[in-house]
Amino acid sequence: MAKLTKVKTRTSGDQTEILVLVNHPMETGRVKDKKTGELKPAHYIQTMTFEVNGTKVAEASLGPAVSKNPLTSVAVKGAKPGDKVKVSWSDNKGENGGAETAVS
Give the pLDDT confidence of 4-40 residue by residue, as tens digits: 999 999 999 999 999 999 999 999 999 999 999 999 9
Phi, psi dihedral angles at 13 (to 5 degrees): 65, -130
Rounded Cα gap, residues 103 and 52, in angstroms: 9
Amino acid code (one letter) for 73:
S
1 pLDDT above the threshold of 70: no
The Cα–Cα gap between 100 and 4 comes to 12
What pTM does this model have?
0.93
Indicate which CATH number applies to the domain containing 84. Answer: 2.60.40.10
Q: Give dist(CA 55, CA 53) in Å, integer.
A: 6
Structurally, how many domains does the chain consist of? 1
Helices (H), the chain: none
Please tell me the predicted confidence (pLDDT) of residue 2.
53
Domain hosting 33: range is: 5-102
